[in-house]
Chains A and B, each alone.
Chain A
Amino acid sequence: MAVKKTNKNNEVHDDSNSRRDFIKKSGLFTALALAPPSLVMASESKWDEKIASYLETVPLSIEINGTKHNLNIEPRTTLLDLLREQLQLTGTKKGCDHGQCGACTVHVNGERILSCLSLATMQQNAQVVTIEGLSKGKKLHPMQEAFIKNDGFQCGYCTPGQIMSGIACIKEGHANNRDEIKEYMSGNICRCGAYHNIVDAIMEVKEGGKLI
């Protein structure tokens, strides 16, 4: 990716090639790629600044659906793009990409968050669960079953986000009645308007009392 910089005279120049060349020639690259994340991230060490400026990617260790990944990513990669574009976990959907629809909802360290507004590099060592991580082999998660049984969707685009959010909603203790569910599910928009059945599905799982 080209890095454009503006100097004092407002002239734009592209220094990405020279930077790449430098890295190649210096032979530093292999050493840096092997450096533990703690070294690369440690802001107090002088190395941090140098390493960060010579590398266009940063290392990331992350656990997704129980599998550990050691990756190198661009700092600007969102968790959503990491999942979809680099790990082919396309179950998590990109609706608005701006925090307004909830389609990208995943669980990070047990809490629901929006993966489109989360920089992947800030999820160092995090445990992420996506829609792909819910079923046990062929056995669907109770919330997935309840969505099917209650017709909790039409086109299905918002569904992975709704299901991730619905599970969290119960775990948080915010699924005690229909009104509370509606309020705490308001971050998940459904263009098809399947809301009524989504609430039915969540109520059913809550009342079923199964371990989720």
Chain B
Amino acid sequence: MKNFQIIKALTSASAVTNLSKETDAKFIAGGTNLVDLMKKNVTAPDKLVDINTLDLKKIEFLSKKVSIGALAKNTQVAEDKVIKEKFPLLSLALAAGASQQIRNMASVGGNMLQRTRCPYFYNTDMPCNKRVPKSGCGAIGGSNRMHAVFGASESCIAVHPSDMCVALAALDATVFVEGPKGKRKIEFTDFHRLPGNTPEKDNVLDAKELITSVEIPENNFAKNSHYLKIRDRSSYAFALVSVAVGLDLKNNLINDVRLAMGGVAHKPWRLTEAEKFLKGKTVSETTFKQAADLAMKEAKGYGENNFKITLGTNAIIEALTIASSK
């Protein structure tokens, strides 16, 4: 790892100012992704701004919404009593990610900004448009078992690896950020982006902007929520495919529904068409099957990952079935 300078930020404004002064500086929160990438020389900042001193760790229940500080730890959020009661989907998704040791270190903001886990991205001897723009994509025509089936482009087919983000996309969250030009908010589903021909950008955050918090509006999905994660081993592995479901049921009628998938695209993949189809219908296996087929209609495999299309369809049906029978 290249040596670097590190300073502690005392306020979010000074964190942003400190970062803005440098060409090659980065914020560091838990460090579980950044330190890993620095060890592999995938990224080699000259300076780190440690933001752990900032007052951004609180989980606040306000009227009709919850606000989660960007530095709240993954464990802290997953095990928060009120989060478990009102937003169990978020808690389940967080608990399905990484390991307890990593969740104790990882922050909410860092989780959103973790880079792709495409093995070629990590291997500096291989071509990768995301790491070195215009160098080519090793995964297209290469080993791509873990890769995207939705929204990929000719320059990148990687997936965003976060579980938490799939739940936040389903739950209509909003991201609050602070940058050199001031504060702004971004709808969670607009936060991460598709690769297009600029796969080096995972999201719409400016390099000098700091995530301060995430807000989730209250909802009626608590009772019938589920996060289903399918992986190569039963724990401590990235998702092959995951599904986040929130159902608002009246008897067997689907009043409202939220559906999102992980492990299938460059961003958490919200299934809006399937949601529209399900709204107003009654719970049944046939309805769930139709919704799943609709959701996977546009899916496209790249060889090794073709299996994700069938797996995805079945995972949607399974997740809806589990959520509806809770």
Task: Tell me how far the C-beta of A161 lies from the nearest C-beta in chain B, rounded to whole angstroms.
Answer: 9
Contact indicator B28/A119 (Cβ below 8 Å): yes
Tell me if B2 counts as interface (CB < 8 A to partner A).
yes
Main secondary structure of the interface of A (DSSP, over half): mixed
Residues of A near B30 (CB, < 8 A) are 117
Given the known inter-chain contacts A43-B9, A48-B7, please indicate yes or no for A169 contacting B100, CB distance below 8 A. Answer: yes
> Is A20 located at the chain interface by the 8 A CB criterion?
no
> In the docked arrangement, what's the CA distance between A44 and B14, Å?
7
Chain B interface secondary structure, helix, strand, loop or mixed? mixed
Contact with B along A48-65 (1 / 0, CB 8 A): 110011001010000000
Cβ contacts A114-142/B at 8 Å (1 or 0 each): 10011101100000000000000000000
Across-interface contacts of B102 in A (CB, < 8 A): 99, 114, 117, 187
Distance from B93 Cβ to chain A, minimum over Cβ atoms (Å): 15
CA distance A184 to B49 in the complex (A): 31
Q: Which residue of A lies closest to B79 (CB)?
A: A172
Instruction: Answer yes or no: B101 CB below 8 A from chain A CBs.
Output: yes
Size of chain A's interface in residues, with CB distance under 8 A?
Answer: 43
Query: Per-residue CB proximity of B60-85 to A under 8 Å, as 1/0?
Result: 00000000000000010000000000
Known: A74-B3, A75-B3, A117-B35. A41 touches B8 (CB 8 A): yes
Q: How far is the CA of A122 from the CA of B7 in the complex (A)?
A: 10
CA distance A168 to B103 in the complex (A): 13
Interface window among A23-31, A105-113, A152-160: A105-113
Contact B236 A186 (CB under 8 A): yes
The 6 closest A-B pairs by CB, nearest first: A187-B99, A186-B235, A186-B236, A43-B7, A75-B6, A52-B5
- The reply to whether A122 and B52 form a contact with Cβ atoms under 8 Å apart is yes
Q: Is the CB of A102 within 8 A of B35?
A: no
Q: A64-101 toward B: CB 8 Å interface, digit per residue (1/0)? A: 00000000001110100000000000000000011100
Is A183 positioned at the interface, with any CB of B under 8 Å from its CB?
Answer: yes
Binding site for B on A (CB under 8 A): 1, 3-4, 41-44, 48-49, 52-53, 56, 58, 74-76, 78, 97-99, 102, 105, 111-114, 117-119, 121-122, 165, 168-169, 172, 174, 182-184, 186-189
**Is the C-beta of B318 less than 8 angstroms from some C-beta in chain A?**
no
Return chain A residues, CB-CB under 8 Å to B4: 75-76
Q: Which of B10, B35, B49, B101 contacts A187 (CB 8 A)?
A: B101
In contact, A53 and B100 (Cβ under 8 angstroms): no
Of the candidates B7, B35, B49, B236, which one forms a contact with A119 in the assembled complex, judged by CB atoms under 8 Å apart?
A: B35
Distance of B2 from chain A, by nearest CB (Å): 7
Of A76, A78, A111, A118, the most chain B CB neighbours within 10 A belong to A76
Chain B interface residues toward A at CB < 8 A: 1-10, 14, 18, 28, 30-32, 35-36, 38-40, 48-50, 52, 75, 98-102, 104-105, 234-236
CB distance from B205 to the nearest CB of A (A): 21
Q: Do the beta carbons of B105 and A117 come within 8 Å of each other?
A: yes
Closest CB of chain A to B197's CB: distance in Å? 25
Instruction: Tell whether A97 pairs with B104 under 8 Å between CB atoms, given A44-B14, A76-B1, A117-B31.
Output: no
- Give the Cβ gap from B216 to chain A, nearest Cβ, in Å: 25
- In the assembled complex, the CB of B164 is this many whole angstroms from the nearest CB of chain A, namely 17
CB-CB under 8 A from B104, the residues of chain A are 111-113
Q: Which residues of B contact A4 (CB under 8 A)?
A: 2
Q: With A75-B6, A98-B36 as given contacts, are A165 and B14 in contact (CB-CB < 8 Å)?
A: no
Question: Could you say which of B14, B28, B75, B99 has the most chain A C-beta atoms within 10 Å of its C-beta?
Answer: B99
Q: How far is the CA of A56 from the CA of B102 in the complex (A)?
A: 29
- Smallest CB separation, B235 vs chain A (Å): 4
Q: How far is the CA of A91 from the CA of B75 in the complex (A)?
A: 26
Contacting pair A43 B235 (CB below 8 A): no
Q: Which residue of B lies closest to A100 (CB)?
A: B236
Could you tell me the distance between the alpha carbons of A118 and B8 in the complex, rounded to whole angstroms? 15
